[in-house]
């Protein structure tokens, strides 16, 4: 019997999934974004579940129908005889997604509507209703609504197929298994393995790339170690067919394990090495994959190894608080490759092209992949002398100094190559227009520090902030241009706009400062740029706050958070306030000035905690105020265990990524926000409020993870007038207990 299926996969892996389906003998298929539709019998669907290395889910399509009202959805679900698929005593779960629909925009509501239709049908027939099981139901039902068209499917995989069963579920890894497999497949590892070539990951982490590489080399079905699939509790499950496929896979594994090539992993972290070894044992490769503790500079293969593939997922630029440290790591990696691995192939996934440049090895055409929501590039390298080069470039600090020197010495007509700098009348006109509107708004609302320009014109990609303090200061931040933009032209434009700013804003040139902001960075505020130690005082909502224009990339206050700070100030009277990832403590000052009886300020940096103390000392406040130097993630986890501390108001504004030397683990807000919020909520009084904010532009908030809480998106309320041109500057939610 021919059935219709849809296999989902991460974006950009559709081609690899299509090749897999073709290799399984599937002839009718159609690739779309993030998936491939195909036809076949049930055995073929089982084969995809067992053998696909890149698929996430395999869906059996039951029906397609139009949804022009909520009743249409209910009736279409009730039209299915659900007793054919599972019994009233069984459990089920519903996954609902909606796109371009005006009828049902809330996925949670859509799932409830589907659940009600199924439960009502079962109860009417048998007088018994089935139960919901979110984790491992007997049957998982999937509905995708696009406009007015809905597709109803059974999820045969049950849970994402990237979960192979060998990883400790309590340990988060920076790369999912199917992305690791895709990397290896795109690099031709299957062919290299068949030729007996070696595989080495010099920064192996928890061992994902090594294990996926071993399964490819040994012809091991990636899902052979799983004990749960969505079809196992399905009434129409063909157990005999499934067992036959498993027996065949077991036999192929026995044969394949005998021809496994050399597979080795290094990592400098002892705990990570132990984790990788545990995963190797869980996957059945104990004694077949060698892992040891070794630094990247010491990575060297014995002469007896067959030259093969060096593959790794090194830290991205976003994960390290110090860009110089990141650059050094990549330079060391490049040095190791050029010295010890000539004749090998190499592959790594990066998000910042500048880091790939640091390797000093020319790559083949990069391939776009997505690690979660983060767009990345897969670099493939042939380690041979003709591909080697020595990276030479100015640092951003050197460039900023040269540009400011050229501007302030009236040498705007030439930059390094003596290219004349063009006037910037378009920029000047836009800046003047913005100033006219925003200066009036700022005066009416007593705002003394605000953004007057934010890359309004693509040719002039800078942010311009005005600070009224002892003098009027202008802080200019250039968004670093991509490699495709001619650097000399970018320099010339920057000098031109810097020459326009003093006259348009009526400030002396000496009071215009320049910083160059790198792409995809969230911890730049922690980077020391200079040692001036000069602070200036600004006023915000009656609060006195210190800013510094010289020593750090950020000034000590995030202007886009002004509304949420004022909101905290208005709500703080008589409250106990907790400020997490506090930076310079500006939110604490607002709470204290607003009348908070207790404030607790937690940050990992002693420098910024002292800054926060100095901020508070400028203001007349009452109450008890404590400052705690700690890793907020670890501190929260410990405090949540006893919940002895209780707060009426909590502000949680974590970084996007962090890999500080003071932290044991990498922090990723998209991965870790659920635990972070749950731990924070344990410190919340019954009537308390938790404000969670993030500046990660691609952030996705799943409210379904927080049962028992009321989640309110207040982003629009917290975007100030001077940032209204960019509504994605941050996201903000109010969280209260139901």
Q: Are 698 and 622 members of one domain? A: yes
Residue 285 has pLDDT above 80, yes or no: yes
pLDDT for 520 equals 40
Dihedral, CA atoms, 17, 21, 22, 25, nearest 10 degrees? 170
Q: Are 144 and 202 members of one domain? A: no
Q: Are 54 and 124 members of one domain? A: yes
What DSSP assignment string belongs to 588-645?
A: HHHHHHTT-SEEEEEES-HHHHHHHHHHHHTS---SEEEEEES-HHHHHHHHHHH---
Q: Are 321 and 210 members of one domain? A: yes
Query: Does a structural domain hold residue 232?
Result: no
Query: Does a structural domain hold residue 164?
Result: no
Question: With contact defined as beta carbons under 8 Å apart, do 47 and 146 qualify?
Answer: no
Helix (H) or strand (E) holding 371: strand 367-371
Residue 459 has phi, psi (to 5 degrees) of -70, -20
- When pLDDT is cut at 50, 70 and 90, the band that residue 104 belongs to is very high
- The closest alpha carbon to 198, from 280, 128, 302, belongs to 302
CB 125: neighbour CB atoms within 10 A?
Answer: 12
Q: Are 382 and 328 members of one domain? A: yes
| Interval 591-611 mean pLDDT | 96
pLDDT for 19 equals 96
Q: DSSP label at 307?
A: P
Distance, in Å, from the CA atom of 349 to the CA atom of 338, rounded to the nearest integer, reads: 18
Residue 118 has pLDDT above 60, yes or no: yes
Query: Does a structural domain hold residue 280?
Result: yes
Burial degree of 30 (CB within 10 A; 0-12, 13-18, 19+): exposed
Collapsed DSSP state (helix, strand, coil) of residue 190: helix
Distance, in Å, from the CA atom of 311 to the CA atom of 348, rounded to the nearest integer, reads: 6
pLDDT for 519 equals 46
For 364-384, the pLDDT digits (tens) are 988 989 988 888 889 999 999
Q: Are 499 and 542 members of one domain? A: no
pLDDT for 592 equals 97
Query: Does a structural domain hold residue 246?
Result: no
User: Any idea what the CATH number is for the domain that residue 20 is in?
Assistant: 3.30.2130.30
Rounded percentage of the chain residues whose pLDDT exceeds 90 = 75
CB 416: neighbour CB atoms within 10 A?
Answer: 13
User: Any idea what the CATH number is for the domain that residue 290 is in?
Assistant: 3.40.50.150
Q: Are 379 and 403 members of one domain? A: no
Q: Are 380 and 412 members of one domain? A: no
| Interval 600-613 mean pLDDT | 95
- Quote the mean pLDDT of the chain: 89
- When pLDDT is cut at 50, 70 and 90, the band that residue 393 belongs to is low
Query: Does a structural domain hold residue 313?
Result: yes
Residue 484 has pLDDT above 80, yes or no: no
Q: Which of 455, 486, 519 is the last residue of a domain?
A: 519
Residue 112 has pLDDT above 90, yes or no: yes
Residue 530 has pLDDT above 60, yes or no: no
Query: Does a structural domain hold residue 230?
Result: no
Q: Are 383 and 400 members of one domain? A: no
| Interval 497-514 mean pLDDT | 91
Query: Does a structural domain hold residue 426?
Result: yes
For 9-18, 538-547, 722-731, which range has the lowest pLDDT when averaged over its residues? 722-731
For 58-87, the pLDDT digits (tens) are 999 999 999 999 999 999 999 999 999 999
Collapsed DSSP state (helix, strand, coil) of residue 724: coil
- When pLDDT is cut at 50, 70 and 90, the band that residue 494 belongs to is confident
Distance, in Å, from the CA atom of 613 to the CA atom of 544, rounded to the nearest integer, reads: 12
More confident residue, 328 or 512: 512
- When pLDDT is cut at 50, 70 and 90, the band that residue 313 belongs to is very high
pLDDT for 323 equals 56
Q: Are 434 and 492 members of one domain? A: yes
To which residue do tokens 């079962």 refer?
122
- If you average pLDDT over each of 119-128, 220-229, 349-358, 411-420, which comes out highest? 220-229
Q: Which of 104, 125, 155 is the last residue of a domain?
A: 155
| Interval 356-360 mean pLDDT | 86
Domain encompassing residue 422: 396-519
Query: Does a structural domain hold residue 356?
Result: yes
Tokens representing residue 510 in the block: 């000496």
Distance, in Å, from the CA atom of 442 to the CA atom of 242, rounded to the nearest integer, reads: 69
Collapsed DSSP state (helix, strand, coil) of residue 553: coil
- When pLDDT is cut at 50, 70 and 90, the band that residue 338 belongs to is very high
Domain count, the chain: 4
- When pLDDT is cut at 50, 70 and 90, the band that residue 407 belongs to is low
Q: Tell whether pTM > 0.85.
A: no
User: Any idea what the CATH number is for the domain that residue 501 is in?
Assistant: 3.30.750.80
Burial degree of 702 (CB within 10 A; 0-12, 13-18, 19+): exposed
Q: Which of 492, 519, 546 is the last residue of a domain?
A: 519
- When pLDDT is cut at 50, 70 and 90, the band that residue 411 belongs to is very low
Distance, in Å, from the CA atom of 36 to the CA atom of 16, rounded to the nearest integer, reads: 10
For 68-82, 284-298, 486-500, which range has the lowest pLDDT when averaged over its residues? 486-500
For 227-242, the pLDDT digits (tens) are 999 999 999 999 999 9
Distance, in Å, from the CA atom of 283 to the CA atom of 168, rounded to the nearest integer, reads: 11
pLDDT for 246 equals 97
More confident residue, 453 or 495: 453
- The closest alpha carbon to 144, from 30, 68, 63, 40, belongs to 63
Q: Are 550 and 666 members of one domain? A: yes
Q: DSSP label at 363?
A: B
Question: With contact defined as beta carbons under 8 Å apart, do 266 and 201 qualify?
Answer: yes
For 190-225, the pLDDT digits (tens) are 999 999 999 999 999 999 999 999 999 999 999 999
Q: Are 289 and 416 members of one domain? A: no
- The closest alpha carbon to 259, from 197, 168, 324, belongs to 197
To which residue do tokens 């707060």 refer?
647
């Amino acid at each position: 019997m021919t059935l219709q299926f849809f296999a989902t996969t991460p974006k950009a892996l559709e081609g690899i999934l299509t090749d897999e389906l073709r290799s399984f003998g599937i002839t009718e298929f159609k690739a779309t974004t993030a998936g491939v539709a195909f036809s076949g019998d049930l055995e073929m669907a089982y084969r995809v579940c067992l053998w696909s290395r890149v698929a996430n889910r395999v869906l059996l399509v039951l029906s397609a129908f139009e949804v022009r009202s909520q009743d249409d959805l209910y009736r279409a679900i009730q039209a299915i005889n659900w007793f054919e698929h599972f019994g009233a005593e069984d459990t089920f779960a519903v996954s609902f997604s909606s796109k371009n629909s005006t009828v049902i925009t809330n996925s949670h509501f859509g799932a409830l509507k589907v659940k009600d239709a199924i439960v009502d049908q079962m109860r009417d027939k048998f007088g018994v209703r089935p139960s919901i099981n979110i984790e491992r139901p007997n049957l998982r039902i999937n509905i995708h609504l696009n406009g007015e068209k809905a597709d109803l499917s059974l999820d045969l995989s049950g849970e994402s197929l990237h979960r192979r069963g060998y990883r400790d579920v309590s340990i988060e890894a920076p790369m999912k298994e199917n992305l690791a497999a895709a990397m290896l497949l795109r690099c031709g590892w299957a062919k290299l393995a068949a030729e007996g070539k070696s595989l080495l990951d010099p920064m192996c982490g928890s061992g994902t790339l090594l294990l996926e590489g071993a399964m490819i080399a040994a012809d091991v079905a990636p899902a052979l170690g799983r004990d749960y699939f969505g079809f196992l509790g399905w009434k129409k499950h063909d157990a005999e067919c499934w067992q036959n496929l498993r027996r065949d896979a077991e036999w192929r594994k026995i044969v394949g394990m005998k021809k496994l090539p050399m597979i080795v992993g290094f990592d400098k972290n002892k705990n990570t090495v132990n984790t990788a070894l545990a995963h190797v044992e869980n996957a059945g490769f104990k004694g077949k994959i060698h892992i040891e503790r070794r630094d990247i500079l010491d990575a060297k293969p014995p002469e007896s190894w067959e030259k093969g593939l060096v593959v790794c997922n090194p830290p991205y630029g976003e994960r390290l608080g110090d860009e110089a440290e990141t650059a050094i790591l990549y330079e060391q990696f490049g040095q190791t490759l050029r010295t010890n691995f000539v004749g090998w192939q190499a592959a790594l996934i990066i998000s910042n092209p500048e880091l790939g440049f640091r390797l000093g090895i020319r790559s083949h055409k990069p391939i776009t992949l997505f690690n979660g929501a983060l767009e990345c590039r897969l670099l493939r390298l042939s380690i041979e002398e003709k591909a080697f080069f020595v990276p030479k470039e100015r640092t951003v600090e050197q460039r900023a100094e040269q540009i400011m020197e050229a501007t302030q010495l009236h040498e705007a007509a030439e930059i390094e190559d003596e290219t004349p700098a063009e006037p910037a009348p378009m920029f000047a006109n836009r800046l003047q227009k913005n100033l006219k509107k925003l200066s009036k708004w700022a005066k009416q609302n007593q705002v003394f520090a605000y953004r007057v320009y934010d890359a309004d014109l693509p040719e002039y990609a800078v942010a311009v902030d005005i600070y009224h303090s002892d003098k009027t200061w202008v802080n200019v931040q250039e968004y670093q241009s991509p490699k495709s933009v001619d650097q000399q032209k970018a320099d010339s434009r920057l000098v031109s706009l810097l020459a326009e700013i003093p006259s348009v804003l009526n400030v002396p040139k000496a009071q215009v400062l320049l910083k160059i902001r790198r792409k995809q960075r969230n911890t730049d505020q922690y980077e020391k740029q200079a040692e001036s130690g000069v602070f200036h005082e600004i006023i915000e909502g009656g609060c006195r706050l210190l800013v510094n224009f010289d020593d750090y990339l950020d000034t000590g206050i995030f202007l886009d958070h002004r509304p949420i700070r004022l909101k905290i100030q208005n709500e703080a009277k008589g409250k106990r306030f907790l400020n997490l990832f506090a930076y310079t403590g500006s939110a604490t000052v607002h709470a204290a000035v607003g009348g908070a009886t207790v404030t607790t300020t937690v940050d990992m940096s002693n420098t910024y905690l002292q800054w926060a103390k100095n901020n508070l000392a400028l203001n007349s406040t009452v109450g008890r105020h404590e400052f705690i130097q700690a890793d907020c993630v670890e501190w929260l986890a410990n405090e949540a265990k006893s919940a002895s501390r209780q707060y009426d108001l909590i502000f949680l504004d974590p970084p996007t990524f962090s890999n500080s030397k003071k932290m044991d683990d990498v922090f990723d807000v998209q991965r870790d926000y659920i635990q972070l919020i749950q731990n924070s909520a344990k410190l919340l009084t019954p009537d308390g409020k938790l404000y969670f904010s993030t500046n990660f532009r691609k952030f996705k908030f799943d409210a379904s993870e927080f049962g028992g809480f009321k989640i309110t998106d207040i982003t629009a309320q917290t975007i100030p007038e001077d940032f209204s041109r960019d509504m994605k500057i941050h996201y903000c939610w109010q969280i209260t207990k139901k």
